[in-house]
Amino acid sequence: MSDTEEEVQVSKVKVRAPNRHKFKTLAERINEVDVDVYRRVGKVCSTPSHGATCFVQESLAEWRELNAARDWLDVERKLRPLAQSLPLLLHHKQQVLDVLLSSLRPQAALSLPPVFGLLVAAARDLQEELVPHMPAVWARFTWLLSPVQSGGGGCAIDPDILQQLFSAAAGLCKVLVRQLTTALAQTLKHTAGLRYHSEHHVRCLAAETFGYLFRQAPLNQLRSGLRAVMAEHALNPSPARAHGAGLLVGEAIVGVEHGLHSKAPVVLQLLFQDDLLNPKDFGATDSAAASAGAAADAAAAGGAIASDCRKKPRKHPTGSICICAASCLLQAGFDIIHSCPLPEDGCCCCLPLPFTVNTVGHAVFQHPDAYSVSPPFGQCSS
The 10s digit of each residue's pLDDT in 137-181 is 999 999 999 999 989 899 999 999 999 999 999 999 999 999 999
Check residue 349 and give left, alpha or beta (phi > 0: left; psi -120 to 50: alpha). beta
Predicted confidence (pLDDT) per residue in 300-331, tens digit: 333 333 333 333 333 333 233 333 444 445 54
Average pLDDT estimate for 83-96:
94
- Greater confidence, 5 or 370? 5
For the chain, the distance separating the N- and C-terminal CA atoms, rounded to the nearest angstrom, is 95
Say if residue 84's pLDDT is above 50. Answer: yes
Among the residue ranges 77-81, 195-199, 262-266, 371-375, the one predicted with the least confidence is 371-375
Say if residue 355's pLDDT is above 70. Answer: no
Say if residue 61's pLDDT is above 80. Answer: yes
Nearest Cα residue to 269 out of 215, 315, 326, 314? 326
Say if residue 350's pLDDT is above 60. Answer: no
Confidence of residue 265 (pLDDT cuts 50, 70, 90): confident
Confidence of residue 107 (pLDDT cuts 50, 70, 90): very high
Q: How far is CA 128 from the centre of its chain?
A: 22
Average pLDDT estimate for 5-24:
67
Cα dist. 88→46, 91, 119, 129, 350 in Å?
Answer: 20, 5, 16, 14, 56
Say if residue 289's pLDDT is above 60. Answer: no
Say if residue 287's pLDDT is above 70. Answer: no
Cis omega (within 30 of 0) for bond into 376: yes
pLDDT of amino acid 43: 58
Cα–Cα distance for residue pair 284/331, rounded to 1 Å: 30
Cα–Cα distance for residue pair 73/49, rounded to 1 Å: 22
The CA dihedral of 229, 226, 174, 141, to the nearest 10 degrees, is: 10
pLDDT of amino acid 102: 95
Q: To the nearest whole percent, how much of the chain has pLDDT over 90? A: 43
Average pLDDT, the chain: 74
pLDDT of amino acid 344: 38
Average pLDDT estimate for 67-73:
93
Q: How far is CA 317 from the centre of its chain?
A: 34
Cα–Cα distance for residue pair 334/336, rounded to 1 Å: 6
- Beta-ladder partners of 355: 365
What is the 3 state secondary structure string of the chain?
CCHHHHHHHHHHCCCCCCCCCCCCCHHHHHHCCCCCCCCCCCCCCCCCCCCCCCHHHHHHHHHHHHCCCHHHHHHHHHHHHHCCCHHHHHHCHHHHHHHHHHCCCHHHHHHHHHHHHHHHHHHHHHHHHHHHHHHHHHHHHHHHHCCHHHCCCCCCCCHHHHHHHHHHHHHHHHHCHHHHHHCHHHHHHHCHHHHCCCCHHHHHHHHHHHHHHHHHCCHHHHHHHHHHHHHHHHHCCCHHHHHHHHHHHHHHHECHHHCECCCHHHHHHHHHCCCCCCHHHHCCHHHHHHHHHHHHHHHHHHHHHHCCCCCCCCECCCCCECHHHHHHHHHCCHHHCCCCCCCCCCCCCCCCCCEEECCCCCEEECCHHHCCCCCCCCCCCC
Confidence of residue 267 (pLDDT cuts 50, 70, 90): confident
Burial of residue 369 (number of CB atoms within 10 Å: 0-12, 13-18, 19+): exposed
pLDDT of amino acid 273: 61
Among the residue ranges 73-87, 195-209, 229-243, the one predicted with the least confidence is 229-243
- Greater confidence, 115 or 290? 115
